[in-house]
A and B are shown apart, each in its own frame.
Chain A
């Protein structure tokens, strides 16, 4: 079965085509600048040169059409015709309280996703456009939606509520949802396999450290707590996001600097984090480079960043009364040995002993970076959200077919 995985943004769209028998990526690519007369489609097939095509793509329906054309292209394509796509899986950022797992798309699901536009005004409308666009192009192909928030729906109220008047939760669903769920879910399963122990017996802390970053306390395979809240702004310090701060800072800054809500929102989401403290970049590689060149502000930014991850790990050890393994994943987590080292340096008291050589290894495999006698294992687990979306889609479609064939 071939499955197309779509991640639709407001003016862009990423895709990967999987052969589920082997879980190989047959082709992947992206469409940028949707809505313009010079949109760019980039298409990659392994061992072949990248194809770029500039054309007018005014909406998502046209974008999907272009992607399908490319996938079945005589020269660059990998499919004979579009009937070879048996299902489509979509990434959806916000599933609110309505979705605690991936589901197949039907009228009700679409309605529910629309209801959640309020909670994710930047993301969900774009995902919806992706779903509608696939419907228009592949009317009879089943579609599944995989939510960033779904994995964290297992959090208990003591983790997900804010200590503010509960009427705000009842009226507007103001609560903590958490994000990167697909990734936290995936790496915790991979880690259990790697450790050779049942997930139901493990206490794991996973650190998804990319452009956005979050930690999750995963107790017996279920999310118990996570650092992102109602929006992806809460929690760790990130590339350009502030992470946790005293909420009183917001009205105070608005008053002092005469800011609008938009400005303060943009300040916290796009002008803070590593970028604000280092004054150099939101990219960890550049910050580390500057730090090694003796830049003090870069050093401070790096230390703050690592310190906040360490604090979250510490609090989650307390939350679960222990931890068996700590996992690092995503761009920075998988690739920045200095960051992992800095985080683990302060975790020796509960038995983390980093192995410097193992930590320095670069690889795309799951690996242990602590010594063999370390009380707590630290693993680097490369994440693959697209594959998980493809797998969920595959499972849902297969189950449905099985149910239908019984009647």
Chain B
């Protein structure tokens, strides 16, 4: 079973995945291009652990142990010992392909290469590797520390053994449910949630209800932890827009066409939690203030 895991890309998702893996007792190598970004990622992870300490989820000793297992690297070369590498850089096909080609030259042949992509074609990504049978998708839901489901995506050439290893790792080591999905834009989670968010935006545009009421109706009515608009704020409105755009292009169906309101918000830089304002306002720690 994998004990040493590489995470490529220390953005929001990369941080969350790396922190979760280290907290589960695995040795994690987190790779980002520049020392500045890496430093920032480290600080964010420390902040996240501090927040969990404040919420009594972990103790000071557990925080230290988790940080000790987290190694920050600026080069993919440091991943040569990894038995699993999870790629989670920005959703750009060419950059992702480039990462897979480089990893081919660094990691052993039986290392599993996983992508955290939510909308790109896994089969196409796998094609960039010399050994496409070892490429698989592991789509975590943010925040990876708290949400216990992973979509495990099979590309056309993904081997059974790669899938089995990944599924067992997900369930036995990470204690998360592994849902098997075949390649399709948005898989299950992104496709359904983005449609819900988009429809909530249409409601808002049409003046049917206020943002607060839309969210209350759904969170209370259907036991969502957050309503669709706050969810969008938490994912990042730019990410939601990118996912909808891609699904709109791939499926060609109007239902995926991003609402104009969403585009306007992104253009205005109202991206949700990460910019402090989206449909609602947020404090420094991501807590909602209005």
Contact = CB atoms under 8 A, between A and B. Distances in A.
A266 B56 contact: yes
B146 interface: yes
Nearest to B69: A36
Contact of A270 (B25, B55, B59, B146): B59
Contacts of B59: 266, 270-271
A11 B3 CA distance: 14
A267 B58 CA distance: 8
Interface in B145-161: 146
A263 B146 CA distance: 10
Contacts of B55: 257, 259, 263, 267
Interface residues of A, number: 12
B268 interface: no
A83 B158 CA distance: 50
Contacts of A264: 56
B56 A35 contact: no
Residue of A11, A35, A262 with highest tally of chain B CB at under 10 A: A262
B146 A267 contact: no
Contacts of B192: none
Contacts of A259: 55-56
A48 interface: no
B289 interface: no
A270 B146 CA distance: 19
A62 to B, nearest CB: 14
A321 B262 CA distance: 73
A267 B59 CA distance: 9
B25 A262 contact: no
B57 to A, nearest CB: 4
B57 A263 contact: yes
Interface string A8-32: 0001000000000000000000000
B1 to A, nearest CB: 10
B57 A266 contact: yes
A260 interface: yes
Nearest to B55: A263
20 contacts: A11-B25, A35-B3, A257-B55, A259-B55, A259-B56, A260-B57, A262-B57, A263-B52, A263-B55, A263-B56, A263-B57, A264-B56, A266-B57, A266-B58, A267-B55, A267-B56, A267-B57, A270-B56, A270-B59, A271-B56
Given A263-B57, A270-B56, A271-B56, 11 more contacts: A11-B25, A35-B3, A35-B25, A262-B57, A263-B55, A263-B56, A266-B56, A266-B57, A266-B59, A267-B57, A270-B59
